[in-house]
């Protein structure tokens, strides 16, 4: 049983690392990057957006997938003492985050096509707070699981 505990601890560390990384990236987008989009000239924005999207693949989309993997692994290899409801919360928050892509991808494509119109950027910034809250809450859940593990 000792071996299983070490695997579970490594998975918890993996999940925690990507949860905290994602909190940093989502808050940076929310309070720095998205508001700066207003400063890009409308005629330059489609090219800017394409370059932006291709530049962030490794630093945003790969960690996004690894964070979701961390939540799934926590479900199958929970840390000792982890309450079921916290594991459900972790997986549920990640599922909601991925479902939100059905809203976010079309909005991002619309902004790329139509430019950084003030009403679109406002819609992006205002509704993006749901993703910020989701990732922040997910990180809090994984931190709580880590605290429980330290007590066990």
Domain ranges of the chain: 2-151
Digit-coded pLDDT (tens) for 97-138:
999 999 988 998 898 888 888 999 999 999 999 999 999 999
Residue spans of the chain under pLDDT 70: 1-4
pTM for the whole structure: 0.92
Contact between 85 and 122 (Cβ < 8 Å): no
Helix or strand holding residue 95 (H, E): helix 84-99
Residue among 152, 148, 129 at smallest CA distance from 30 = 129
Q: Write out the two tokens for 50.
A: 């394409």
Q: 89-123 burial, b if ≥16 CB within 10 A, otherwise e?
A: bbbebbeebeeeeeeeeeebeebbeebbeeebbee
């Amino acid at each position: 049983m000792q071996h299983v505990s070490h695997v579970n601890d490594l998975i918890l560390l993996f999940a925690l690392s990507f949860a905290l990384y994602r909190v940093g990236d989502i808050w940076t987008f929310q309070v720095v990057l998205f508001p700066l989009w207003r400063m890009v000239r409308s005629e330059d924005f489609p090219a800017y957006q394409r370059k932006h999207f291709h530049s962030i693949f490794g630093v945003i989309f790969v960690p996004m997938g690894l964070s979701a993997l961390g939540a799934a692994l926590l479900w199958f290899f929970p840390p000792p003492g982890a309450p079921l409801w916290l594991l459900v919360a972790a997986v549920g928050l990640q599922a909601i985050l991925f479902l939100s892509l059905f809203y976010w991808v079309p909005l991002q494509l619309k902004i790329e096509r139509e430019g950084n119109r003030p009403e679109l950027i406002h819609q992006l910034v205002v509704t993006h707070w749901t993703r910020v809250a989701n990732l922040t809450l997910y990180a809090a859940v994984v931190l709580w699981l880590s605290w429980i593990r330290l007590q066990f």
